[in-house]
Amino acid sequence: MKGRTDWARVDALTDEEIVAAVESDPDAELITDEDWEQAVWVKAKHPVSIRLDADIIAFFKSQGRGYQTRINNALRIFMDKAKAQKKS
């Protein structure tokens, strides 16, 4: 999928211009040391074939690009909760 980014303009930006652009972006969230401390290493993903209900796929796809990652995240939350309950 070809994007509309002007990579020549991006390549020409200085480090200072990039920092200023990020700092002025109200949607930008800089990663803090605390964020890195909470980071979890996730193993490599493996392709699988899985059958899901059509409405589940439609819901995740309706959220935009990255629906497979969102499905993976939902399954991870379920798995983590199930593991926590088993330990209790």
Query: How many angstroms separate the Cα of 76 from the Cα of each of 60, 86, 87?
Result: 15, 15, 17
Query: What is the predicted pLDDT for the residue at 40?
Result: 87
Each residue's pLDDT tens digit, 11-60: 999 999 999 999 899 898 878 899 889 988 877 889 999 999 999 999 99
Residue type, 3: G
Q: In whole angstroms, what is the distance from residue 8 CA to residue 13 CA?
A: 9
Q: In whole angstroms, what is the distance from residue 70 CA to residue 63 CA?
A: 9
Q: In whole angstroms, what is the distance from residue 59 CA to residue 77 CA?
A: 18
